[in-house]
Amino acid sequence: QVQLVQSGAEVKKPGSSLKVSCKTSGGSFSSFAVSWMRQAPGQGLEWMGGIIPIFHTPNYAQKFQGRITISADESTDTAYMEVISLRSDDTAVYYCARGGLPRDYYYMDVWGKGTTVTVSS
Amino acid sequence: EIQMTQSPSTLSASVGDRVTITCRASQFISTWLAWYQQRPGEAPQLLIYEASALQSGVPSRFSGSGSGTEFTLTISSLQPDDFATYYCQQYKTFGAFGQGTKVEIE
């Protein structure tokens, strides 16, 4: 079955940047949206943005416009999210998830296990 | 952007109770709504999509209803595994989540 495998935990300094990866295995990659969410400690889920690889154009929540870049590499079935100018309140678990149907953003039926990111001086 | 509001934020209940969680969208989303369950330390899991369709493998005690801007998730008889946090998510326009409802033991 389809699995999403995320990169490992990171510890970052304030002001630095972060790039998290999410590799799809066991299923089609290019036609399905990959969304990125984050969850700060004790808080809820935030949809940050996503990409449908065959359309190449990422979509971002207004809050994160200008500070994140989402991309996809169809040759490796891997999606990426880069966050710049990290602050302590970017400390969170970052999840990727795949849309349940192709060619648009739908409910998300497959999730990665999450990447823990700690921003601290 | 579409905003999602859940109520209550926390719900105390006992095993066997019927539980209802409400989700409201800031604009019309038809039935483009999903519900997820998240246990501590785990990734969310899809329960319901298209407002009322049960995801494969999810117990039938979970049900969803609603359309337009008002939605509900109902657990007909709460089981020990169900104490968790529940999120609604709209997908009419990309994705936005409600703030979550924690179901805790009374």
The minimal CB distance from B91 to the residues A106, A112, A114 is found for A106
Inform me whether the pLDDT recorded for B31 exceeds 90: yes
Mean pLDDT computed over B89-102? 96
Q: Find the residue in A nearest to B99 (Cα).
A: A44
Whose CA is closest to B36, among B1, B100, B88, B72?
Answer: B88
Residues of A in contact with B95 (CB under 8 A): 35, 47, 50, 105, 108
- Per-residue pLDDT tens over the stretch A36-86: 999 999 999 999 999 999 999 999 999 999 999 999 999 999 999 999 999
For position B106, what pLDDT does the model report?
87
Inform me whether the pLDDT recorded for A93 exceeds 90: yes
For position B45, what pLDDT does the model report?
98
Inform me whether the pLDDT recorded for A4 exceeds 90: yes
Residues of B in contact with A40 (CB under 8 A): none
B10 confidence band (pLDDT: 50, 70, 90): very high
For position B81, what pLDDT does the model report?
95
Could you tell me what percentage of chain A is helix, strand and coil, using 3-state DSSP and rounding each to the nearest 5? 5, 50, 45
Cα distance from N-terminal residue to C-terminal residue, chain A = 40
Residues of B in contact with A107 (CB under 8 A): 34, 46, 49-50, 89, 91
Does the distance separating the beta carbons of B98 and A111 come in below 8 Å? no
What is the percentage of chain B residues whose pLDDT exceeds 90?
96
